[in-house]
Chain A
Amino acid sequence: METLLRIENVSMRFGGLQALKNVSFTVKNNEVIGLIGPNGAGKTTLLNCVTGFYKPVEGKVFYKGKEITGLKPHKICQMGLTKTFQLIRAFKSLSVLDNVLIGALLKSSRKNEAVKFAKEVIKTVGLEGKENVLAGNLTPADQRSLELARAIATKPEILLLDEIAAGLTPAEVAELVEILKEINKKGLTLVIVEHVMQAIMPIAGRIIVLHEGRKIAEGPPQQIRENEKVIEAYFGEE
């Protein structure tokens, strides 16, 4: 399988706080990677370093062999790599369709085409029938789906999802997992950041564990579940 994303020795500091320390891993085409770790492990920071919202103080990020470290987020998105936000950032005073349309306009030169594609994506995430509802009036679960749809509409090759299951009921999580499986089947590579391990285990092919800014484990879900370092990181302080 072709390597899509390569992260090499990425470190990030905020003032005196070492948020990431020498993190390296690769993501291959059409994989589903789970990125887990306790609160404050540096998961969101890592996503932000990859997608250009932060510039890492050390290390490099390669996408399809090209270095993308320090590029602006929009540039990275145009290359085919985007993310969703941990806190929902839907365009609240716009309709569901307009939200997704804005994403779709990136790769469709004509508006009609973009509208058609946006409607398809809305269907994929299960928001059909709500096209004209204002995003601000959606339930939190629907807003999460909307954010997913908006990101998919930019036709990325890798999608990084930041705690997309946060605040959802178990039933909603199960539904979301089905949607994610489906979009992965269509060829999209996923990196899923999750605080709760259970949500990610059923779909992730490989799991990477961060703790206090360092990568402490990497491997298939079964192996991770039995890894002592991981157990300690999650339960050690309690």
Chain B
Amino acid sequence: MNVRLEKSAINKLIILIILSLLPLYPSPYFRRTLFLVLYFAYLGVAWDLLGGYTGQGSFVHAAFVGLGAYTSALLFIWWRVTPYISMFIGALVSALFAGLIGYLCFRFGLRGHFFFLASIAFLVAMRYSFTNWDLVGGATGLIIPLESHVPWFYLQFESKLPYCYLMLIFLFAEILLAEKIVKSKLGYYFVAIREDELASESLGINTLRYKLISFVISAAFTSLAGTLYAFFVGYIAPETVLSDILTVQIVIVAILGGAGTIYGSLIGAFIMVPLMEYTRAFLGARSGLDLIVLGSLIILICVLYPHGLIKLIGKIYHKLPRIRGDH
């Protein structure tokens, strides 16, 4: 048992070292891409807690990115609140929103396709509302004004390097927390609900309550990344942070890597983001060719590896850090 635990710790360390060396490559474009990889991996892990572990496939998740981004951006614009504080306010807002829509949906046992549709409806309703709402900038969105004399206080750096490390810290903290959750009673209950809700109820599991807990945790995690993203790009709009494509990208990252595996999201992000970014760079974003390539790849991967890429990579290197089975 100890040997196995040590092994997983060593694996983690290796991954961490590799990831922390990568940002040193001095290309702004490379660093931008790397930031997005880590950002999507982070979002994928957050989604996976709800979708992969608890089995509730949500398409609303871009809404939590948006709530995090908008909350922090507005608090900054109005009162110059530092993102270190506002990100937690945003997470709280997202958690409350998740609790509300989760309660409304799960109370009547919406699941599967119905939950897909309900969750995407909440996202779209929110995007339409924000587009028509002048207080939050309407369709044009919000620009975060520069206050670059105190870069660390307001998270406004000229170089992309600090953003990469910030995102990396968040990602690793999240992975460690997620692993802790998954190995605890909470995690076992999540998986039980995914496997069979009626059987879970008969074993004394309050399925509504644990689904809500899972949803709220997932939303709060997601929201934190929304804040970081807003300060990374400096500009947010309904089309960028509340879009259904963003939601689908998150889902793809989590699923293609392998749902319910945590590390799968890292793999998913390392495949999807560079593909998107470099096809855009080579083919040009204006032509739509990048998304043609992305669409075709999604179809291809779904057809060839319907159970996620982690299985494929697991075959090549089957000693990937494991999270289940070590009691």
Contacts and interface: CB of A to CB of B under 8 A. Distances in A.
Contacts of B192: 91, 102
Interface in A16-66: 51-53
Contacts of B96: none
Contacts of B185: 105, 111, 114
B129 interface: no
A123 interface: no
A53 B198 contact: yes
A92 B194 CA distance: 11
A82 B195 CA distance: 19
Contact of A94 (B189, B195, B204): B195
B206 interface: yes
B214 interface: no
B219 to A, nearest CB: 23
B188 A101 contact: yes
A154 interface: yes
Q: How big is chain B's contact interface, by range?
A: 20 to 34
A151 B188 contact: no
A93 interface: yes
A111 B184 contact: yes
A48 B129 CA distance: 44
A53 B324 CA distance: 31
Interface in A57-91: 72-75, 77-78, 82-85, 89-91
A151 B203 contact: yes
Interface in B203-253: 203-207
Interface of A: 51-53, 72-75, 77-78, 82-85, 89-95, 97-98, 101-103, 105-106, 111, 114-115, 132, 150-151, 153-154
Given A78-B204, A85-B199, A115-B327, 16 more contacts: A51-B202, A52-B201, A53-B198, A53-B202, A73-B202, A91-B192, A91-B199, A93-B195, A103-B203, A105-B185, A105-B189, A106-B204, A111-B184, A114-B185, A151-B203, A153-B203
23 contacts: A53-B198, A53-B202, A72-B201, A73-B201, A74-B200, A74-B202, A74-B205, A77-B203, A82-B204, A83-B202, A85-B198, A89-B198, A90-B199, A91-B195, A91-B196, A94-B191, A97-B327, A98-B188, A102-B191, A102-B192, A103-B203, A106-B204, A150-B199
